[in-house]
Amino acid sequence: MMTFNWRSAFAIYRREMSRAFRTAFQSILSPVLTTSLYFVVFGTVIGARMEPIGGVPYGAFIIPGLLMLTLLGETTSNASFGIYMPRFTGTIYELLSAPVGVAETLTGFVGAAMTKGLILAAIILTTATFFVDYEIRYPVFAALYIMLVASSFALFGFILGIWADSFEKLGIIPLLILTPLTFLGGTFYSIRDLPAPWDDIALANPIAFLVSGLRYSFYGVADVPIAVSLGLTLGFLVACVAVIAIIFRTGWRLRE
């Protein structure tokens, strides 16, 4: 019979959260500072000279994209680091020898990464109010969508942390793939404003759908239908869960 060990899951979760607060500057303050700089430069200074996009002032328009930029990078990095470090230091032995399965492990590691992502999102949105005026049109949907994206990319980060066998590999995906794709995914512009054929080519970038989905929840405007954004994000989440289930079943990179 499948049982879920809440105490084990909570132990992992609490330790991961403790690690985040122990390294608060790197985990929380650093991304908030970086995002605030974007708001100052693009939102306030340059944004004041830009035309509204889709009826949304430019400073407010870039908020969902900047939020997505931080959310994707931080949840992925947190989850990947969380599982990679025990593998690197050898403390993974304790997790593997405990009465803990994939469900408890994911609840602990991914739950903590997701929580950190949500804390960051809340801080960034609060910080944004100091620089630009904005209102969220569908706040409940926005919160749920942020949670969905955070959990999906925490799962993705978990896979990354198991795949990586060096610190260099750990940093490659967030830095060299996620960040560029987010920049090119309509963070600072609407991809529908791109000249042909770049507007269609931009749709090959999956991050564009995420940015568009979050922007819809904020302002009711989107580059692609919201159902497509939601479906893609859910599909990504399911794919990550499936990959992790296979990893635990085969022991790949965990139990050789």
Partner 1 sequence: MSEPILSIRGLTKTYKGGTRALDGVDLSINRGEIFALLGPNGAGKTTLIGAVCGLVRPTSGTMTAFGHDLSRDWRRARARIGLVPQELATDMFETVWRAVAYSQGLFGKPYDPARLGEILKSLSLWDKKDAQIRALSGGMKRRVLIAKALAHDPELLFLDEPTAGVDVELRKDMWQQIAALKERGVTIILTTHYIEEAEEMADRVGIIQGGRILMVDEKRAMMERLGTTEAVIDLAAPLAALPPEIAAFPVELADGGTRLIYRGGNGEGGGRADVAQLAQALTRAGVAFTSLDIHDSSLEDIFVGLLGGKEAA
Residues interacting with partner 1, by CB under 8 A? Answer: 3, 5, 7-8, 10-12, 14-15, 18, 22, 89-91, 93-101, 251, 255-256
> E strands within 31-74?
none
Amino acid 230 reads L
What tokens appear for 76 in the block? 């992925």
Contacts of 253 (CB under 8 A, 6+ apart): 87, 162, 163, 165, 247
Q: Which is nearer to partner 1, 225 or 251 (CB)?
A: 251
Q: Which is nearer to partner 1, 8 or 152 (CB)?
A: 8
In whole angstroms, how close is the CB of 105 to partner 1 at the nearest point? 10
Q: Which is nearer to partner 1, 234 or 246 (CB)?
A: 246
In whole angstroms, how close is the CB of 252 to partner 1 at the nearest point? 10
Q: Which is nearer to partner 1, 9 or 211 (CB)?
A: 9
* Bridge partner residues of 66 (DSSP): none
**CA separation, residue 223 to residues 54, 57, 63, 197 (Å):** 10, 16, 15, 15
Give the 3-state secondary structure of residue 56: strand
In whole angstroms, how close is the CB of 89 to partner 1 at the nearest point? 6
What tokens appear for 154 in the block? 């925490």
Q: Which is nearer to partner 1, 15 or 192 (CB)?
A: 15
In whole angstroms, how close is the CB of 163 to partner 1 at the nearest point? 17
In whole angstroms, how close is the CB of 182 to partner 1 at the nearest point? 31
179 vs 68: CA distance, rounded Å? 10
In whole angstroms, how close is the CB of 256 to partner 1 at the nearest point? 7
| Helices (runs of H) and strands (runs of E) counted in the chain | 12, 0
Q: Which is nearer to partner 1, 94 or 165 (CB)?
A: 94
HSE at residue 162, side-chain half, CA atoms within 13 A, is 22
Residue with tokens 């009711």: 220
